[in-house]
């Protein structure tokens, strides 16, 4: 058996602050066995670095990396989420195994470079051969994730309809899943192929547009019974809420809260147009919310009303979603900045001590890990040894002090300050 590996940076974020003299012992499996002042001789190869828990990206659609730079011209008319969706469908129709692998690998490699060490890949682009429902693209994305070294939870999506009460059409047929029984057979087949501790599975109902309430309830109950996390797009667009109310008498979030009694296993993505009352009832059961500020801005989704939420204990996580820009530093700062612009107040997303940067970091690390069911997002014994390295000499951090380093990074640092990452104790 190999002896444990020990890392020691100049400063390490542990127990809510940067501390010096912290040594991290990593076992053969890639988990943290001990951390603290261990009295072990090290070569201090990280003497000019700070160590953070690796960022956890709770919501990604890797293939949408192929849209970067596209759809940003609006001659004669303004665009919307719905016009962007047509551009996304056009990309979907062009993809094959090779191009999907390239896009996924590019997105995952960019995540590693940005200090992201784990991702929840919300995967609904399933089929190469639509008539056969071959699920060939599931393996492509898993292969890209494995090759990148990124810890990945493939959030396998159920997608049965093309809108509330509508059939799948056009590019949507590449998303199609059979009935819940057929969906679970695919989950079982994927489970049998997983031979890498960095890869695991979760379950998705894409949205109330793609699955009716009965199907969502059945999927959620089975996922909870299997101990799998469950994610769902919720109330990103007002049209979705209107359609859902007309069909089922409630908006999506209220409907899911009433019918499913969701707990910590359930992460609602976006909630851009959710009411504070609906969010409060959902969060009271332990449900979490994942926000994707850069994508929500790019698609003109809107800014959620989260001043009350920022002051509560609800679990918040962050995602890069469409991957138009992959930067968890920017996701963190724009989570707070969006709330400042909407509310006219500074310091909306804060911890119990009123600290903003530490709460934002928690959203980008421990919050994401909780949403994905991972032992990650903290530097503590038993957690995976997943870390982001910060270059203390980077110009964007010039003038930092130990007590201001995190604020300097979150509110003033660029991705150039990220010097690398470790996943399971292995550097990129």
Which positions are annotated as active-site residues? 270, 321
- Burial of residue 356 (CB within 10 Å: 0-12, 13-18, 19+) is buried
DSSP letter at 95 equals: -
- Burial of residue 261 (CB within 10 Å: 0-12, 13-18, 19+) is middle
Tokens 């890639």, located at residue: 30
Strand segments (E) across 214-352 = 230-234, 266-270, 288-291, 316-318
**Structural contact between residues 230 and 204, judged by C-beta atoms closer than 8 angstroms:** yes
Strand segments (E) across 212-363 = 230-234, 266-270, 288-291, 316-318
Strand segments (E) across 300-370 = 316-318
Between the alpha carbon of residue 378 and those of residues 76, 165, 327, 340, 386, the distances in Å are: 49, 43, 19, 27, 9
Per DSSP, the three-state class of 156 is strand
Please state, in angstroms and rounded to a whole number, the distance separating the CA atoms of residues 356 and 333: 9
State the CB neighbour count (10 A cutoff) for residue 415.
17
């Amino acid at each position: 058996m190999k002896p444990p590996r020990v890392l020691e940076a100049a400063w390490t974020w542990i127990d809510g602050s940067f501390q010096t003299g912290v040594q991290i012992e990593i076992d053969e499996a890639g988990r943290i066995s001990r951390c603290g002042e261990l009295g072990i001789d090290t070569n201090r190869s990280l003497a000019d670095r700070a160590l953070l828990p690796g960022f956890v990206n709770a919501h990604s659609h890797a293939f949408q990396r192929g849209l970067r730079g596209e759809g940003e011209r609006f001659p004669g008319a303004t665009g919307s989420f719905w016009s962007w969706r047509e551009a996304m469908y056009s990309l979907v129709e062009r993809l094959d195994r090779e191009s999907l692998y390239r896009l996924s690998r590019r997105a995952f490699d960019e995540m590693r470079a940005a200090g992201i060490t784990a991702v929840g890949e919300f995967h609904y682009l399933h089929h190469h051969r639509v008539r056969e429902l071959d699920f060939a693209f599931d393996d492509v994305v898993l292969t890209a994730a494995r090759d990148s070294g990124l810890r990945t939870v493939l959030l396998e999506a159920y997608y049965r309809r093309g809108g509330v009460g509508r059939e799948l059409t056009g590019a949507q047929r590449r998303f199609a899943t059979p009935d819940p029984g057929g969906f679970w057979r695919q989950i079982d087949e994927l489970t049998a192929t997983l031979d890498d501790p960095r890869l695991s599975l979760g379950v998705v109902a894409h949205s109330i547009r793609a699955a009716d309430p009965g199907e969502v309830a059945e999927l959620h109950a089975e996922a909870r019974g299997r101990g799998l996390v469950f994610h769902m797009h919720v109330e990103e667009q007002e049209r979705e809420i209107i359609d859902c109310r007309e069909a089922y008498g409630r908006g999506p979030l209220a409907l899911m809260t009433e019918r499913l009694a969701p707990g910590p296993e359930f992460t609602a993505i976006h909630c851009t147009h959710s009411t504070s009352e609906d969010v409060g009832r959902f969060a009271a059961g332990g449900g979490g919310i994942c926000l994707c500020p850069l994508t929500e801005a790019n698609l003109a989704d809107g800014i959620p009303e989260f001043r009350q939420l920022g002051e509560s204990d609800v679990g918040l996580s962050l995602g890069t979603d469409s991957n138009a820009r992959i930067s968890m530093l920017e996701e963190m700062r724009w989570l707070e900045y969006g709330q400042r612009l909407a509310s006219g107040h500074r310091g909306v997303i804060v911890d119990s001590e009123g600290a903003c940067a530490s709460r934002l970091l928690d959203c980008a690390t421990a919050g994401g890990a909780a949403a994905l069911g991972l032992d990650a997002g903290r530097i503590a014994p038993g957690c995976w040894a997943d870390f982001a390295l910060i270059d203390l000499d980077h110009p964007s951090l010039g003038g930092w002090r130990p007590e201001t380093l995190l604020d300097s990074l979150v509110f003033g640092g660029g991705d150039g300050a990220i010097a690398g990452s470790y996943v399971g104790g292995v550097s990129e």
